Every structure is written in C-alpha cells, then in structure tokens.
Copies of this chain bind each other. A is one copy, B any other.
C-alpha cells in the first residue's frame, strides 16, 4: 500500500491551475454566445412604476431585453428553500425575490431588467437606453429602527420587518443570574462585510434543442442543488439539466445562495433564445448583488460564580437578514449555537430576531454566523475574568467541557435541524499548546512590560472556539479503476480551492494502493456524479471524504475478489501495492489494476445476478451529526500609538480537526481563514448611507488585507478523532476565520491597556480611526 494518507503532499490540482489550463466559467466560449448585462435598482427601496425597454431593444446588436412582465410566472422556488428549523414556537416568514423586480426594489442592485446582446459592451450600453420610473420609498437600514412601529416595511404584507424570531433555552437562566456572584451584561455589535472572492460570480448556459438538455456552467458551491432548482423552475426534469461548477476562484459561502436571479435568468434566456448566453458579474455588481454577512446586535449577559464558573448565559440579538430570506436561518442559528463555545453553560437563554432591511441579502460567509457567537462569549469571559480577578486563560480552563463529557449535548437545535451535540474534543491541551507556542507567560512577565517601558504598545490575545463542521444530509462518491490503471473518483460537490483533488485522492489511495498522482478526481459536474448537496459548512472532507472512503473500500473488495479468481487463490493471499495486486510469497505473480478492470468487464460471458461490470462502487455517506472541531488562536500585536495601525508580530493557531488527511492543505485552509479573519476584524466594513446606498462599493474603498497585513501563521494540532465518520475527520474550512474578531479585540485592548481606562472593545470590525475613537472613549 502506498501510504499517502496524512502526508503533506502538494496538490494534484495545482499544475493545471498554475499553468492557466484550468477551466473557469468565463473560459467557456460557445458558438453564437450572447452576453448579458443587468439594469439594477439604484434605490434601496422604491416602487417600480414602469420599465420601457423599447429603445434598448432597438439598439443594434441587442437580441432581447426583458423585464419582470416578460418572465411570466415560472418562478417556483418551493423545493429549494431551506425550511424553518424545528424549534417550538418559532416565527419564520420566508420572502423570496423574483428574478427581476416586479412590484418594488428592496435593495440597491436588485436586478430590474436584463439585456442580451452580441457583446457585453452592447448590452451595457443598452442599459442606458432603458427608462424606468420609480417611486422612492424610505429605506430600512438600522436594525432597531426597523422594528419600531411606523418603520417603512420591506415586505408590506407581513406588517412588520421581522423575518424570524427563534427562542432557544435550556436550564433556568433567571435562577442562575440570581445565584451568580457576578453578572456581566454588554451590548456587542458586529457589522457587515463581504466575501470578495478573487473570481466574481458567473453563469453560462446552453440549451441543446436536439438533446432537450440544458448545460449550465455556474460559479456555484452547490451544483446539484442548482441543477434540481433549475429543473423545477424551468419545467424540466433534473436529468435534462447539467450543471458544471468548474474551478472556482473562491466560494466562501455566498456562492451557494439559492437562487441568485442571474442563475435562473441566464439559463432561461438561453432556452428562450436558442443561443448560449454568458453573464460574468463585474466587481461593482458583486458588491451589490452577491450576498453579504455579519450585521448583528447582541444584548448578552453572563452569570458566574465567584470562582469564574459559568452559571448561565443570556443573549437577545438582532440579525440583519437583508431584503429576502430564501436561505432560511442558518446564520442566526449558528450564532446562537456557537456562542456556547468550548464551555459548560448550565443555563442558556437565547432569542434572536432576524430583521428584513433594504440591504443586499445576508447568507453564510466563511464562519457563517459563528464569529458573532465566539465574539460575544469570548468577550464576556474576558470582561468577567477581569472583574473576578482571574487570569483570562484560567477562566476558560475552568469552564471547558471536560474530555470525558463527550458526546456533549448542548440542548439546542443546530443549523442541521438536529440537536447540537459535540462529538468529541479535548480543549485544555489546545489552550496549553497555544499559550506555550505564543510564549504567553514570558510575554506577560517580560516582553510587554519592557515594551511599555519603551513606549511601545504590545498586546497579546488568546481565544478559544469550536466550529461545527461536517453536517449532513449526505454526499456520495464513485470510485472506479480505469483500464489505464488509474483510479477515478467523482463526487457531487465542487471545489473552490479546498484541494479536493488531492485530499480525496489520499483517502482513496489509502484503500487502493495507488499513487495519488494516478487518482483523477472529478468534482462539480452533475453529469459525472448525480447526487450531492454542496461545499459548505466545512463538510467536504468529512462527508464526501467519508463517501470516497466507503466507495474505495468496496472497490478494494472487488479488486481482491477479481484477482483471487484470476490467480485462483484466496483473497487473504493477496496484497495491493503500487497499482498492482501481488500474490504473497510468489514474486512473479502480480497483475495491474488496469488489467483487472479489463477482466471485470469481459466481452463474452455473463454478468451474473448480483454482480456488476467493472471495478467500481458508488457509496453515500450521511453523518449522524456534525463533527465539532475546536481550536485556539493566539496573537501578539503591536499598535502604532500615533496611527493606531496594528502590526501582528506573532500569530499561532492550535487546531483540532480530528484526523488530518493532508497537513499542507489544512495549513492552507487555516492560513486563508486567518487572512479573511484579519480582514473582517480590522479592514473590511460595508458603509451605508441613510438611503441604503453602499458608500464603499469598490476595492479602492472597501479595504482588503494585503500580503503585507497578513503574517505567517504558526500552527500546531491536536487530534481527537470524530466518532461520527470512518475517517475520524472534522472540517477545517472556517476555523481560521472564526475567532479572529474576538482575538483582535482582546489583543488590542491589551496593547493599548484599555482596561486600565475602563474601555472595552465591544464591536467588530475595527479600523485605525474607529480604534482611535474607542480608545478615546468614543
């Protein structure tokens, strides 16, 4: 057997990506390709009175122009929606957009009209020909104001701007607060950011009238879901639709909205016009039309005994949902659940209100609501530790769920609609390693005092978190030995940079004894693998990886069975290594896997009942519950006293995602996550004016961290395998991003010695100017 599992192998996908030979959606060129531009609402909230497409349609090179009335009534999103979670007493109003504004626009950038032309240039020019009459309405933006009587209504028929209200609780918080030695109560805010992937969204669609089939190339994270949804909306059978999610330049969550208007309009136009149609989102569109995340306001309190043990937590929060909520309540549910963190919280009372606003929709973005929960809990612990005079690390240690308490039932309903239960974990060693690696004691004892004496503002932060990963319902994988001796793996989920072509190959290689360079992985093509859900919630390795493992095990058995028949020996006498099956103890007796594949599909003879041709297997894996990863981030930061610009001097991540398939890919995931976390903590914030206009919708104004701002991350790992899947793996995709806000707040407070001034950092994101305001009591 070729032992590649667990090794830091370079990625199979990289040579092609580095040579520019990988397919991205915009690479798709087809004969007769048409191009689309969208006229988008300039208003955050406005009634649409009329759209005149006459002049646009008359422009040379324009093939068609459509407004809502041209679409008919084909928008049937029913089966695609994420349903409400099974929480007793909850309120949930699901309001979905129509692809083109029909009655009124509810956020700036909502598509109003679609022009299809011979080139994008012509299509863009034709947008200027379209005359639209609007009646501008007051825009809803502020979450608290939105809930006041008399506020403008995003969806009039509801009578309120409440999208959902969900109350979850366990234990008796009131009693806990009464019994507490200390109750800390604060308001925390976390403002909007955007995911800003390298590649914006894009869709190309082609209708083949002779095959009655639609092919759609889409930058989606969930090609199977898009396939199913397109079929439902366009009146097709699922098998008539092929969705290809090729290489994608970053997903991060917003690329699995269900549905973006453009995702159905472009295929619809391709079918209607009988010509292929392309739309690639430009960067300006991306700021308005691709979903955002983050805006929440938490009124939270924690009750503790004198020793710092948590007695209970109460949290009431508002969640900014944006204008529509097709995606359901994943985000606020994640915030609600993840707040519990690594800690024993005997009483928990949490209620959130999701609010409709005249803003771009909010759906999961790397971390997916977990940031908020971690930020609130870690900040509460920091403040409580100070007030109780306990070391901030010690208060965490005292409240950790003990390692013998797993599986640990948190008693609340999670985003996967089952009760949140942590599968396994051991948090104290993680914190200890992080403190050790960052040199906590020495920093506190020597480095910081010395720096302060020199007038330098150095601070340290250490925070802990859990990440719910690897949720169901399922993924599948097909493993197949090729006549060439190579092994193929196909799965329904696509890749947006997660290294599936390598990690899954390692999983398969473990069973089949082939070099991972000889394992060809196909992802994100619904014709190559029909079923699946998507790449999100750090679930690829856990769910699809386990399916690949199961399929490879079946193929392994078929290989041994076929070889035993060929050599007329017992399966126990065979060993698979280096792409061959060898008879133990008979040096010249071996056969390549490719030759065996040929024997398994003979041209004569019969495939007898219960057997199948070829050396292949398709397996599905659905975990009984999510796998809970955990970790600690530690950082030493220096703040320029004049500019308040922080410089990260050291950054340590200690992480437990169970069994590690490929440490190199894991390191990349964490490094990237921390980079985005730093952006979210200190650089990236969407600013809106009173009218709901986005003020910084460009990369000149919306600041992203550059390579100069992101330090080299030092990493260490602990391993508590998940008992919920055969590989023992847990997801790692979001771990880098989740605790960075909490970490920045703690470290910057420390660097600027804010606690001594009774100043606390209770908001995210920060910036030099905002930090200046805060540290000056603003």
Contacts and interface: CB of A to CB of B under 8 A. Distances in A.
Interface of A: 21-23, 27, 29-31, 79-80, 82-83, 208-211, 225, 228, 231-232, 235-240, 246, 416-417, 472-474, 476, 480, 482-484, 486, 488, 490, 520, 522, 527-528, 530-531, 533, 598, 601-609, 611-614, 620-624
B484 A603 contact: no
A620 B613 contact: yes
Contacts of A225: 603
Contact of A533 (B522, B527, B603): B603
Nearest to A595: B79
Nearest to A228: B483
Contacts of A83: 603-604
Nearest to A492: B613
Given A235-B484, A611-B622, 18 more contacts: A21-B210, A23-B210, A31-B31, A231-B484, A237-B483, A237-B484, A237-B520, A238-B484, A239-B490, A239-B528, A472-B605, A473-B602, A473-B613, A474-B606, A531-B613, A606-B623, A607-B620, A612-B620
A480 B239 contact: yes
A317 B473 CA distance: 65
Nearest to A623: B606
A604 B483 contact: no
Contacts of A490: 239
A363 to B, nearest CB: 14
A473 B231 contact: no
A267 to B, nearest CB: 16
A279 to B, nearest CB: 20
Contacts of A237: 482-484, 486, 488, 520
Given A472-B607, A473-B605, A605-B417, A232 B624 contact: no
A79 B80 CA distance: 46
Contact of A22 (B29, B210, B605, B613): B210
B527 A528 contact: yes
Contacts of A228: 483, 601
A228 B31 CA distance: 29
A481 to B, nearest CB: 9
Given A528-B527, A613-B474, A239 B488 contact: yes
Contact of A21 (B29, B209, B609): B209
A85 to B, nearest CB: 8
Contacts of A621: 607
A533 B604 CA distance: 10
Contacts of A527: 527-528
A242 to B, nearest CB: 9
Contacts of A482: 231, 237-239
Contacts of A611: 620, 622
Contacts of A604: 82-83, 416-417, 472-473
B531 A601 contact: yes
A593 B15 CA distance: 46
Contacts of A27: 210
Nearest to A85: B604
Nearest to A550: B609
Contacts of A598: 79
Contacts of A246: 210-211
B522 A239 contact: yes
B417 A483 contact: no
Contact of A483 (B30, B238, B483, B484): B238
A775 to B, nearest CB: 45
Nearest to A20: B210
Nearest to A609: B622
Contacts of A480: 239
A627 to B, nearest CB: 13
A606 B79 contact: no
Contact of A624 (B82, B209, B528, B606): B606
A407 to B, nearest CB: 16
22 contacts: A21-B209, A23-B210, A29-B31, A210-B246, A232-B484, A236-B484, A237-B482, A237-B486, A239-B480, A239-B488, A239-B490, A239-B528, A472-B605, A472-B606, A473-B604, A473-B605, A527-B528, A531-B612, A606-B622, A607-B621, A611-B620, A611-B622
Given A231-B482, A231-B484, A607 B474 contact: yes
Contacts of A208: 23
Contacts of A21: 209-210
Contacts of A606: 472-474, 622-624
A598 B235 CA distance: 15
A726 to B, nearest CB: 10
Contacts of A486: 237
Contacts of A29: 31
A306 to B, nearest CB: 43
The listed residue with most B CB atoms (<10 A of its CB), out of A208, A483, A624, is: A483
A40 to B, nearest CB: 29
A232 B597 CA distance: 12
A613 B473 CA distance: 10
A420 to B, nearest CB: 14
A603 B77 CA distance: 14
Given A472-B606, A605-B473, A606-B623, A79 B483 contact: yes
Contacts of A238: 482-484
A475 to B, nearest CB: 9
A210 B247 CA distance: 10
B209 A239 contact: no
Contacts of A22: 210
A623 B473 CA distance: 38
Nearest to A616: B530
Contacts of A602: 473
Contacts of A231: 482-484
A740 B520 CA distance: 52
A94 to B, nearest CB: 13
Contacts of A232: 483-484
B603 A622 contact: no
Nearest to A608: B622
A474 B620 CA distance: 25
A382 to B, nearest CB: 35
A520 B211 CA distance: 11
Contacts of A31: 29-31
A623 B609 CA distance: 9
The listed residue with most B CB atoms (<10 A of its CB), out of A31, A237, A240, is: A237
A29 B23 CA distance: 22
Given A231-B484, A484-B235, A613 B528 contact: no
A22 B490 CA distance: 30
Nearest to A86: B604
A777 to B, nearest CB: 47
A607 B624 CA distance: 9
Nearest to A33: B31
A25 to B, nearest CB: 11
A451 B396 CA distance: 113
Contacts of A609: 622
A554 to B, nearest CB: 13
A232 B238 CA distance: 32
